[in-house]
Amino acid sequence: MTAGLNEISNGGIVLDGREVDSAGPDRAVVFQSPSLFPWMTARENVAMGVDRVYPHASAAERSDLVDYHLDKVGLGAAMHRRAADLSNGMKQRVGIARAFALSPKLLLLDEPFGMLDTLTRWELQEVLMEVWSRTQVTAIVVTHDVDEAILLADRVVMMTNGPHAKVGKVMEVDLPRPRTRKQLVSHPDYYRYREELIGFLADCDNDH
């Protein structure tokens, strides 16, 4: 509903003083399954969004913007490869580059690393945080991974189970940035946050 892809069933969603009623480039989405045009190159996939969002910029400015974001996610050398020939991890890098290149007011990430192996997942979490650190755009990340939630978030919104899920508990994560996984597990508050999250999930399971 926040992305404007589903009809809002009740109430409303307001972003920067405007009620959300459709999809728009002010909200960029990174999906769990890479959503690229497979016949296009990585560069063309990012450029398509940039060309639409910045129609009044010069071709050189748009080109620099695309190259900059692909380079920042580690795809500088692979930007001319077709999306169909990229690994899932590389496809998600393209998705992250495309999302940030649009300079959205809100970034939405729906289980963005859920399909990836553990090492690739960890690597892309670091990429995401590094790219985010320059814009610090507000982001909503959906995840089932407790450690990922603590690593990425300033605030974890825990949802109850079932088809009628609702907000169950909100936990503020007061850990210093920039964060790395190694720093996280050595921080004295990490296990307290983890225990609170897992305790909530266990209670939800017990309620069913």
147-156 pLDDT, tens per residue? 999 999 999 9
Question: How many domains does the chain contain in total?
Answer: 2
Note the pLDDT of residue 164: 83
Note the pLDDT of residue 130: 93
Task: Please tell me whether the overall predicted TM-score, pTM, comes out greater than 0.85 for this model.
Answer: yes
In a domain, 20, yes or no: no
In a domain, 153, yes or no: yes
Please report where in the chains the tokens 């045009």 appear, as a residue. Answer: 37
In a domain, 58, yes or no: yes
Confidence check: pLDDT of 207 > 70: no
Provide the pLDDT confidence category of residue 163 given band limits of 50, 70 and 90.
confident
Mean pLDDT, rounded, of the chain: 93
In a domain, 98, yes or no: yes
| Cβ atoms within 10 Å of 119's Cβ, excluding its own | 9
Say yes or no: 64 and 157 in one domain. no
Say yes or no: 89 and 43 in one domain. yes
Note the pLDDT of residue 9: 85
In a domain, 57, yes or no: yes
- Domain span at residue 206 reads 145-208
- Torsion over CA: 177, 65, 100, 2 (sign): positive
**100-131 pLDDT per residue, tens:** 999 999 999 999 998 899 999 999 999 999 99
Confidence check: pLDDT of 176 > 60: yes
Say yes or no: 66 and 137 in one domain. yes
Note the pLDDT of residue 208: 57
Say yes or no: 154 and 198 in one domain. yes
In a domain, 18, yes or no: no
Boundary (domain end) residue, out of 111, 142, 173: 142
- Strand 106-110 with 27-30, pairing: parallel
Say yes or no: 108 and 138 in one domain. yes
Say yes or no: 115 and 208 in one domain. no
In a domain, 33, yes or no: yes
Confidence check: pLDDT of 98 > 90: yes
Say yes or no: 59 and 134 in one domain. yes
Say yes or no: 63 and 112 in one domain. yes
Boundary (domain end) residue, out of 142, 157, 184: 142
Say yes or no: 156 and 136 in one domain. no
Q: Backbone phi, then psi, for 72, in 5-degree steps? A: -65, -25
Note the pLDDT of residue 13: 94
State percent of the chain over pLDDT 90.
80
Mean local confidence (pLDDT), 86-102 = 95
Note the pLDDT of residue 202: 87
In a domain, 23, yes or no: no
Note the pLDDT of residue 40: 97
Boundary (domain end) residue, out of 121, 142, 163: 142
Say yes or no: 127 and 35 in one domain. yes
